[in-house]
Structure 1
């Protein structure tokens, strides 16, 4: 009997892990109302949801107060997975968990039961109450006027996904990235309507993809290629610690001065090559000859590495040392000056400044960012925290200049022979031994923007 039970268990285990991941497409009212509330918040730019609400009978103090209360809720906490190489794995974000639980529960009581412990109980209760209050408002203003078109579209999208066997591109990504996924966990895709708009939104997290779609979207090639792009970020994130450590080692052992910034760019580059290049080409029958991404650096490197990636896909080979070395070589041969261009290297930044306003200034000057950290003290400890990363290091000295510059010089071996004049304004850029750029601004009267212009002129 024991042997029979063991054989049944082994069979079921093999059956589960032999299955492919399933994609489930749905509409989530709870998620849609949550996103609706986010878009009504004061800090959000003008959008179709805000316009519909402001023109409605609900634009009164009672509901404005609920919106204000909602936008003041602290929902986004995070923690890093410290054992993974820095930047190789996304931090856990409680807002992702909230959205996941909104999608995967059928009512707000179940949502609260599943979510308790991730955020404070009072915050969770207030969040659920806000969603409850705004559900009929959302339905009246957004969902019901678009219900017929949207539900027809949802059926068409589901049919298209089945006909194109979209799951197979997920499996392609798992093999290429040498990543992991438990096939018993479905990938759940939640759509909601985006009226009076062109295009769609896209976000992926955990085992979910969410998208607001225009109600007259006629072609689904772009939608699914972008969906797979975002999904490949998840697959990359789910690589094992062993795989991520190996990849990190390959980059650090490579002798190219470009290896660090090639590494910083790789996640977006691969997702774009696979999603916007490979998947779109398969769905359309030909490669898209236009831009694949609206950022120059990602678009150009993605197209450059496309032949290399497709060879690995065709040969069913996962990323290895040879792939990483060739990727870095293509980066250096074709774009050798990218490691000096601020629009590129400021995408990945760690800023030290004793003027807290400098964080906003840097954000305005370089809005697009992949990873960004800021500390408002220039101390031995803060410099050491900065040195643990391979992000671009920006230190802005505007107080106690002589003392601070001496500290900086002593903390960076590359500055051993550096001659400084603390009384004179300057802007320096130095490629460090970890192949990240150190940008040092000694500020007296000039603005940060003016000092950074000096860097661009170098």
Structure 2
């Protein structure tokens, strides 16, 4: 217990947003241990934490059983903010709330008290027990061998943040996004060491940013530009209901056939333009000449919109209808074919299929996904729910084809002239009036991967 308070004393710093809201950088042992166990899961790919554990004296049945117990805990529930325009506000995840509470409490008893009600009490108790069992293991294998380097690195990050007024970029985001923040709520960033690695991880949620940082990191500008990228997702998410409704209206009223898929892409594009473009340029003195994001749609569109973003920031203007219309126009003029590229449109998908193995096949084909929904029935009700979303709509029929096609024709007037042969496999794509794509596949014997290749 003494060690936790010492770390908090040594590595907790407060900077000021507008002299009111605090920006805190710290190390959280509880969070680090939780994420360490998560990385040991058999469902996780090979990683440095798993490597260190597997070659250690702790790679025994006792600890493997604890990992297995941890794997079986169901801690991720979610709920939507249904009054907001679809997809404009992130679903609340209990897993995020648990990580938030691990960061913001000083011991596991406080963590359990604050987290009671998010998940079942027995699950919460078991989770805390797993963290307690692995705390000494984590410290011996990961933290203590990297302690000196990491603690110096954390001090350097705190100084860099202060010297470069990183907090000011938060205010820049609030103004540009026309968003708001309650000054009584601090923004807390938690870092933990990532040994024997290059780069760092990044995730933001609620009022938190978390990152595993390589212990030999030598470029704080990269780290902090990515940190602000993730933070801007939160700023965007915290736009008021009125602002989000206005933005949704601007996109829906725009006549461009690209407006829907431009909208789906915008959140990531703007976070990239601001974080990897604007913030990086300010920290380094020049724009990053390389890719800003490792996905072409986001990278290219972020670079295309960047001059407009910078103009709005320099003029202290919030994004408005003119900005949205300009953004859509740039998308349509420069990348008109993107609305037909499966790799793009399948990032946002709603799949109806009575064969759940199809979902795994689609996930294998299109690994990158931003928003996805699935229903295992093809009924009037499930089609209605799918139709009400702006996502790419995928219907995979494997039985009673004629009946299912009739249902679809009744719901989508765009299919009125479509003729299909229920006895043969097919894969067709239709552009709908809501400017999303509808993909209908009739599956007899072929794998779903094969059928997707038939789509023109």
TM-score by length of structure 2 reads 0.96
- Look up the match of 1:61: 61
Distance in 2 separating the partners of 1:401 and 1:93? 37
- Look up the match of 1:100: 100
Gap change, CA 1:17 and 1:192, over 3 Å in 2: closer
- Look up the match of 1:408: 408
**Deviation per CA, 1:313-363, whole angstroms, max 9, x where unpaired?**
011000100000000000000000000000000000000001010000000
- Look up the match of 1:253: 253
Asked whether the equivalents of residues 90 and 237 of structure 1 are also in contact (C-alpha less than 8 Å), the reply is yes
Asked whether the equivalents of residues 17 and 171 of structure 2 are also in contact (C-alpha less than 8 Å), the reply is no
- Look up the match of 1:441: 441
Aligned residues: 441
Asked whether the equivalents of residues 33 and 134 of structure 2 are also in contact (C-alpha less than 8 Å), the reply is yes
CA-CA distance at 1:19 after TM superposition: 3.4
Q: SS of 2:21's equivalent? A: coil
Asked whether the equivalents of residues 281 and 287 of structure 1 are also in contact (C-alpha less than 8 Å), the reply is yes
CA-CA distance at 1:92 after TM superposition: 0.4
Q: SS of 2:88's equivalent? A: coil
- Look up the match of 2:218: 218
Q: SS of 1:211's equivalent? A: strand
Asked whether the equivalents of residues 20 and 171 of structure 1 are also in contact (C-alpha less than 8 Å), the reply is no
Distance in 1 separating the partners of 2:149 and 2:453? 51
Q: SS of 1:22's equivalent? A: strand
Distance in 2 separating the partners of 1:103 and 1:162? 21
Q: SS of 1:368's equivalent? A: coil
Q: SS of 1:95's equivalent? A: helix
- Look up the match of 1:339: 339
- Look up the match of 2:421: 421
Asked whether the equivalents of residues 394 and 440 of structure 1 are also in contact (C-alpha less than 8 Å), the reply is yes
Gaps of 5+ in 1: 1-15
Alignment of 1:233-252 (within 5 A): 233-252=233-252
CA-CA distance at 1:174 after TM superposition: 0.1
- Look up the match of 2:359: 359
Asked whether the equivalents of residues 17 and 182 of structure 1 are also in contact (C-alpha less than 8 Å), the reply is no
- Look up the match of 1:83: 83
Distance in 1 separating the partners of 2:212 and 2:71? 20
Q: SS of 2:407's equivalent? A: helix
- Look up the match of 2:152: 152
Asked whether the equivalents of residues 179 and 239 of structure 1 are also in contact (C-alpha less than 8 Å), the reply is yes
2:170 counterpart of 1:170: yes
- Look up the match of 1:46: 46
- Look up the match of 1:371: 371
Distance in 2 separating the partners of 1:402 and 1:83? 36
Distance in 2 separating the partners of 1:18 and 1:314? 18
Distance in 1 separating the partners of 2:349 and 2:37? 31
- Look up the match of 2:321: 321
Q: SS of 1:393's equivalent? A: strand
2:403 counterpart of 1:386: no
Asked whether the equivalents of residues 352 and 377 of structure 2 are also in contact (C-alpha less than 8 Å), the reply is yes
2:299 counterpart of 1:299: yes
Distance in 2 separating the partners of 1:55 and 1:450? 41
2:396 counterpart of 1:396: yes
Q: SS of 2:453's equivalent? A: helix
Asked whether the equivalents of residues 21 and 167 of structure 1 are also in contact (C-alpha less than 8 Å), the reply is no
**Two-structure CA RMSD over aligned residues (Å):** 1.0
Distance in 1 separating the partners of 2:22 and 2:292? 27
CA-CA distance at 1:417 after TM superposition: 2.0
CA-CA distance at 1:18 after TM superposition: 5.9
CA-CA distance at 1:22 after TM superposition: 2.3
TM-score by length of structure 1 reads 0.95
Distance in 2 separating the partners of 1:83 and 1:48? 42
CA-CA distance at 1:413 after TM superposition: 1.3
**Deviation per CA, 1:205-254, whole angstroms, max 9, x where unpaired?**
01100000000001100000000000000000000000000000000000
2:281 counterpart of 1:274: no
CA-CA distance at 1:451 after TM superposition: 1.4
Q: SS of 2:318's equivalent? A: coil
Asked whether the equivalents of residues 177 and 235 of structure 1 are also in contact (C-alpha less than 8 Å), the reply is yes
Gaps of 5+ in 2: 1-15
Asked whether the equivalents of residues 19 and 183 of structure 1 are also in contact (C-alpha less than 8 Å), the reply is no
Distance in 2 separating the partners of 1:144 and 1:349? 44
Asked whether the equivalents of residues 17 and 23 of structure 2 are also in contact (C-alpha less than 8 Å), the reply is no
